[in-house]
């Protein structure tokens, strides 16, 4: 009679639930392998010939191969201690060291033309060789191409970052294959199934062993001596077959769940984007209200993950800068009057010698106007609203520029937060006098003009007086009122992607001060700016609350899934 220690219906019933948690499918795969190698995935059959009998047959075969000179006689292996056994085995299983059930095919010289298998030749998600293996001439053979392999051989990369690159050679390969010496190579004796070994080597249990024995910092690796001391839980041959069949069936189900998740994610993104686009493409308040009502009816379905909240927040910014977030008031003084006042103030500062006379940029062209503005709004380049400058990096060779400096010095990486309250580096008064550095006042907007990853195009507001390096543009608004500054900042936040697209260059595209100066701003009346900023602040606070709730819900879901996984794994 077949007997099992785990309720498999429970596993199947909960697979879909676990898969929906973040990283859930990966946990499922890990759980399946753990249960498999512990003897908990398929029933044991008392009628199976026990692994102890299989080991006797393997020893006889090994003696024969040694006598025929096909394999070398090895030193006796140490007895397996209780401390090395990570779990208790089912009846009929045996703990063995890797060399007890596998052998090496030795090393050899590549043939005139050969197939080279290196550590990058493996699809580590599937545990198989890639289809595009290298065919090389013997003259081009890498020095590390020496290990013999054939159909049924298990290969395990022993060097990071490829420790999970494990595969079975399932087919005959032509031209004859040779594997890299970076592999541990194991050919199983009759009665030991290659794919059972593969699944065990891919399990977290064996991975933990390998990690515990790996040495090195940049590229940790496990040497052959330690690797082949590893232990294997050996089931009867027939049970190995049942385990392999069950694992592969469940892994196919995991593949299906993963694909289903990808499709659902894609469909969700498409539907959400369509709904949000319907908001940003409206032309009047009535149409906007109608589309918003439609979104509200499906809010729980669509805004169900933090990244969806991010998309909603970006939509709020788009509505804000298009004049669709708050109503216009005909009594507001139009933006054209604000521009006149800014020009007058700028001329006064020039006359007093506080700023240099500028050469104004031309008006925003029709091609630069991305959308139609409400009445009383104006398109205007940043240059018409502000003094835009940058900074420099004093020579590191001159200690006087940095040592004991107390003047904050902003780098582009510090624009990752909305406000700059402190800097990591400081320059000296000497640097300020000897270089083109300028001290920018509190309230200056700092735009990252270049930097790795997401840095380029980010905007932050100075909460301290500071200098900058040359990777930052500093926007000092002529009208430095809180609402005006906050509105210009949110225009830059909304335009993040568009600004990045203005970058030029090859491997590391950059912005420049000229492009920042020319950034087109949709400018509302000053009174409307204050209403827009207040509304955006309110809605962003709600978005943050929603984001936190969703994050907590996902954390709880992950914890519940992990708890269930751990419970099943310890049954």
pLDDT in tens, 18-52: 666 667 778 888 888 888 999 988 889 999 999 99
Cβ atoms of 409 and 377 closer than 8 Å: no
For residue 142, what pLDDT is reported? 84
Cα gap 234→571, rounded to integer Å: 19
Omega before 175 within 30 of 0, i.e. cis:
yes
Question: If you search the block for the tokens 């200098």, which residue do you land on?
Answer: 467
The residue ranges of DSSP E strands in 14-165, in sequence order, are: 94-97, 102-103, 113-117, 122-123, 128-129, 134-137, 145-148, 154-157
Q: Where are the alpha helices (DSSP H) in 352-452?
A: 429-434
For residue 398, give the 3-state DSSP assignment. Answer: coil
Query: Among the residues of 203-334, which ranges form H helices?
Result: 204-213, 224-227, 237-280, 285-297, 299-302, 306-321
The closest alpha carbon to 434, from 467, 464, 410, 476, belongs to: 467
Closest CA to 569 of 136, 27, 16: 27
Q: What are φ and ψ of residue 170, in 5° steps?
A: -85, -20
CATH superfamily placement of domain 335-524: DNA methylase specificity domains (3.90.220.20)
Residue 493: the pLDDT is 93
Q: What is the structure's pLDDT at 562?
A: 65
SS3 448: strand
Q: Is the peptide bond before 161 cis (omega within 30 degrees of 0)?
A: yes
CA 105 to chain centre: 40
List Cβ neighbours of 425 (8 Å cut-off, separation of 6 or more): 402, 405, 409, 411
Q: How far is CA 412 from CA 188, 428, 472, in A?
A: 57, 19, 6
Element at 494 (helix H, strand E): helix 482-494
96: three-class secondary structure by DSSP: strand
The answer to whether 307 touches 550, Cβ cutoff 8 Å, is: no
- What residues pair up with 187 in beta bridges, in sequence order? 103
Give the residues across from 183 on adjacent strands: 157
Pairing of strands 445-448, 166-168: unpaired
CB 472 within 8 A of CB 492: no
Place of tokens 């060399």: 99
| CB-side neighbour CA atoms (13 Å) of 440 | 32
**Helix, strand, coil: what percent of the chain each, to 5?**
45, 15, 40
Q: In 332-407, which ranges are continuous DSSP H helix?
A: 335-351
Up-side HSE of residue 290: CA atoms within 13 Å toward CB? Answer: 8
> What is d(CA 413, CA 469) in angstroms, rounded to the nearest whole number?
11
Which pLDDT score, from 0 to 100, does residue 272 have?
78
Domain ranges of the chain: 1-36+242-330+532-571, 49-235, 335-524
307 phi/psi in degrees, rounded to 5: -65, -25
Crossing angle of the two packed helices 306-321 and 482-494, in degrees rounded to 10:
120
Q: Are 340 and 478 in contact (CB under 8 A)?
A: no
Structure pTM?
0.64
- Whole-number Å distance between alpha carbons of 491 and 521: 7
Fold of 49-235: Adenine-n6-DNA-methyltransferase TaqI; Chain A, domain 2 (3.90.220)
In which residue ranges of the chain is pLDDT below 50?
A: 1-7, 9
Query: Coil, strand or helix: which one is 306?
Result: helix
Q: What pLDDT, on a 0 to 100 scale, did the predictor assign at position 137?
A: 87
Check if the beta carbon of residue 2 is closer than 8 Å to that of residue 44. yes
List the structure tokens of 213: 């024995």
Quote the pLDDT of residue 5.
Answer: 43
Do domains 49-235 and 335-524 share one topology? The answer is: yes
**Amino acid 228: pLDDT:** 93
Burial 421-435 (b: 16+ CB within 10 A, else e): eebeebbbebbbeeb
- pLDDT for residue 13: 53
Q: Compute the distance between CA of residue 122 and CA of residue 155 in angstroms, rounded to an integer.
A: 10
User: d(Cα 19, Cα 194) in Å, to the nearest integer?
Assistant: 28
**Rounded to an integer, what distance in angstroms lies between the CA atom of residue 395 and that of residue 309?**
44
Give the pLDDT score at 344. Answer: 93
Look up residue 382 and give its DSSP letter.
G
Q: How many Cβ atoms sit within 10 Å of the Cβ of residue 301?
A: 11
Helix 194-202 vs helix 204-213: crossing angle, to nearest 10 = 70
């Amino acid at each position: 009679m077949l007997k099992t220690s785990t309720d498999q219906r429970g596993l199947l019933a909960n697979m879909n639930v676990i898969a929906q948690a973040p990283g859930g499918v990966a946990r499922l795969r890990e759980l399946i392998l753990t249960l498999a190698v512990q003897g908990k995935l398929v029933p044991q059959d008392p009628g199976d010939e026990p692994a102890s009998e299989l080991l006797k047959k393997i020893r006889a075969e090994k003696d024969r191969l040694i006598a025929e000179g096909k394999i070398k006689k090895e030193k006796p292996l140490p007895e397996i201690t209780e401390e090395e056994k990570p779990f208790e085995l089912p009846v009929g299983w045996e703990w063995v060291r890797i060399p007890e059930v596998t052998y090496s095919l030795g090393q050899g010289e590549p043939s005139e033309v050969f197939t080279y298998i290196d550590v990058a030749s493996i699809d580590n998600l599937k545990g198989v060789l890639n289809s595009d293996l290298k065919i090389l001439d013997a003259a081009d053979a890498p020095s590390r191409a020496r290990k013999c392999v054939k159909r049924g051989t298990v290969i395990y990369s022993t060097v990071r970052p490829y420790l999970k690159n494990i595969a079975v050679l399932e087919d005959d390969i032509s031209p004859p294959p040779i594997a890299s010496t970076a592999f541990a190579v194991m050919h199983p004796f009759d009665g030991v199934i290659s794919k059972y070994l593969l699944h065990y080597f891919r399990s977290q249990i064996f991975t933990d062993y390998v990690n515990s024995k790996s040495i090195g910092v940049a590229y940790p690796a496990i040497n052959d001596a330690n690797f082949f001391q590893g232990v294997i839980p050996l089931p009867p041959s027939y049970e190995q077959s049942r385990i392999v069949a069950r694992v592969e069936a469940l892994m196919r189900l995991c593949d299906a769940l993963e694909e289903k998740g990808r499709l659902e994610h894609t469909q969700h993104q498409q539907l959400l984007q369509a709904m949000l686009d319907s908001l940003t493409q409206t032309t009047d308040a009535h149409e906007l209200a109608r589309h918003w009502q439609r979104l509200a009816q499906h809010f729980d379905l669509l805004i169900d993950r933090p990244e969806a909240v991010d998309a909603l927040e970006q939509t709020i910014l788009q509505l804000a800068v298009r004049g669709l977030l708050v109503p216009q008031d005909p009594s507001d003084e139009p933006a054209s009057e604000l521009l006149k006042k800014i020009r007058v103030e700028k001329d006064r500062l020039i006359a007093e010698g506080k700023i240099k006379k500028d050469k104004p940029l031309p008006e925003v062209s029709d091609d630069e106007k991305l959308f139609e503005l409400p009445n009383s709004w104006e398109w205007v380049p940043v240059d018409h609203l502000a003094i835009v400058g940058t900074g420099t990096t004093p020579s590191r060779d001159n200690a006087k520029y940095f040592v004991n400096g107390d003047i904050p010095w902003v780098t582009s990486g510090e624009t990752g937060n909305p406000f700059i309250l402190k800097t990591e580096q400081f320059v000296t008064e000497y640097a300020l006098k000897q270089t083109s550095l300028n001290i920018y006042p509190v309230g200056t907007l700092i735009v990252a003009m270049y930097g790795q990853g997401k840095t380029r195009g980010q905007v932050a507001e100075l909460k301290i007086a500071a200098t900058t390096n040359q990777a930052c543009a500093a926007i000092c608004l002529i009208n430095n009122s809180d609402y005006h500054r906050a509105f210009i900042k949110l225009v830059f936040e909304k335009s993040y992607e568009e600004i990045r697209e203005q970058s030029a260059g090859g491997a590391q595209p950059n912005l420049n001060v000229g492009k920042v100066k020319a950034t087109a701003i949709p400018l509302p009346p000053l009174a409307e700016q204050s209403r827009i900023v207040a509304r955006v602040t309110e809605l962003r606070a709600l978005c943050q609350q929603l984001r936190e709730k969703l994050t907590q819900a996902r954390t709880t879901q992950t914890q519940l899934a992990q708890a269930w996984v751990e419970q099943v794994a310890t049954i």
